[in-house]
């Protein structure tokens, strides 16, 4: 599973204006793999950095991304993003718990 996830991350271009959903998925997978690995402080710092980057992308590209969808598909796309943002928030909370002990 880990190899598959890393392959997905590697194949993703981080051009968020083109496909916010795919890049959000790649970020979430990267964040969760780093949380599971917990190798060192670099992983923990990078988790926070990636979540901050995801929030920045959300504010910069979400409207454009959703407006680019057919109205019938926009609701599903919005719900997918909401789910991804919730996964990011849960990862952030978990990291705080891990840091506090």
What residue segments make up the domains of the chain, in order of their start? Answer: 2-100
Give the tens place of pLDDT for each residue, 1-36. Answer: 555 555 555 544 344 445 788 889 999 999 999 998
pLDDT at 19: 77
Radius of gyration of the chain (CA): 14
pTM value is 0.77
Count of C-beta atoms within a 10 Å radius of residue 59: 8
What CA–CA distances, in Å, run from 66 to 16, 48, 53? 13, 25, 19
pLDDT digits (tens, 9 = 90+) for 51-100: 999 999 999 889 888 888 888 899 999 999 999 999 999 999 999 998 88
CA of 31: how far to CAs of 38, 71, 74, 85, in Å?
10, 31, 26, 12
């Amino acid at each position: 599973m880990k190899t598959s996830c890393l392959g997905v991350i590697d194949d993703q271009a981080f051009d968020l204006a083109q496909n916010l959903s795919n890049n959000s998925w790649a970020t979430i997978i990267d964040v969760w793999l780093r949380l599971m690995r917990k190798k060192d402080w670099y992983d923990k710092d990078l988790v926070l950095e990636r979540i901050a980057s995801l929030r920045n992308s959300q504010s910069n590209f979400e409207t454009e991304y959703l407006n680019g969808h057919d109205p019938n598909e926009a609701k599903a796309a919005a719900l997918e993003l909401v789910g991804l943002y919730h996964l990011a928030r849960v990862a952030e909370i978990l990291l705080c718990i891990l840091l506090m002990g």
